[in-house]
Chains A and B, each alone.
Chain A
Amino acid sequence: DVKVTQSSRYLVKRTGEKVFLECVQDMDHENMFWYRQDPGLGLRLIYFSYDVKMKEKGDIPEGYSVSREKKERFSLILESASTNQTSMYLCASRGQGDRFFGPGTRLTVL
């Protein structure tokens, strides 16, 4: 089974802090994704990566950056967290077939 893991299930940070969310997949997938999930809005794509060191902006990249130094790891960075970034963050990976999702990180910014 594909495993996609995320570093934290719950995270509480303060406004202005730098936040790192990490995602690891164990199936050698080329494509990895970061989504934000908010009630009534479904999942919105923040960034995706189709190879090591490659990244593309999704629909809502503002306020976020990403890093993919190794194939199995895709990090989402909030340079200066703000309260409107309080949300559920989902990582996903995909090879040639379906997307597989991580368990999500519920981030609260106070």
Chain B
Amino acid sequence: AQTVTQSQPEMSVQEAETVTLSCTYDTSENNYYLFWYKQPPSRQMILVIRQEAYKQQNATENRFSVNFQKAAKSFSLKISDSQLGDTAMYFCAFMSHNYGQNFVFGPGTRLSVLP
């Protein structure tokens, strides 16, 4: 069974600074997807970024980028130029390529962006 680990329960960063959230996972599969989701306080969970395991290039979405290290089974999220609106819970998630219902979340990292 797949597992997803986020070793940082809480983090904080100053506004405009850069922060990196860690995620490691365990799987025996070769094809899969990895995700970062953001859940702002009292608001809906939304997808931040997606990475397909067969793509070597790291995914980027504006200020959000990932460092995908397949051999190390590591999938960290970098937030550049942090904004107050980035304050949220961030969840790393794994989805098997062949079994789309198999979607595993990590425990989450609570990020606070400080003014």
Contact = CB atoms under 8 A, between A and B. Distances in A.
With most chain A CB atoms within 10 A of its CB, the pick from B4, B45, B50, B103 is: B45
Given A98-B47, A101-B45, A42 B101 contact: no
Interface stretch (A20-28, A43-51, A71-79): A43-51
A9 B29 CA distance: 37
Contact of A94 (B4, B45, B50, B100): B100
Interface string B47-61: 100100000000000
B107 A40 contact: yes
Interface of B: 4, 9, 35, 37, 43-47, 50, 91, 100-101, 103, 105-108
A90 to B, nearest CB: 7
A42 B107 contact: yes
A42 B45 contact: no
A42 B46 contact: no
Contact of B9 (A40, A98, A103, A104): A40
Interface residues of A, number: 20
A42 to B, nearest CB: 4
Contacts of A101: 37, 44-46
Interface of A: 31, 33, 35, 40-45, 48, 50, 56, 90, 94, 98-99, 101-104
Given A90-B45, A103-B44, A43 B91 contact: yes
A35 B93 CA distance: 13
Contacts of B9: 40
A103 B37 CA distance: 14
A105 B71 CA distance: 38
B92 to A, nearest CB: 9
A48 B101 contact: yes
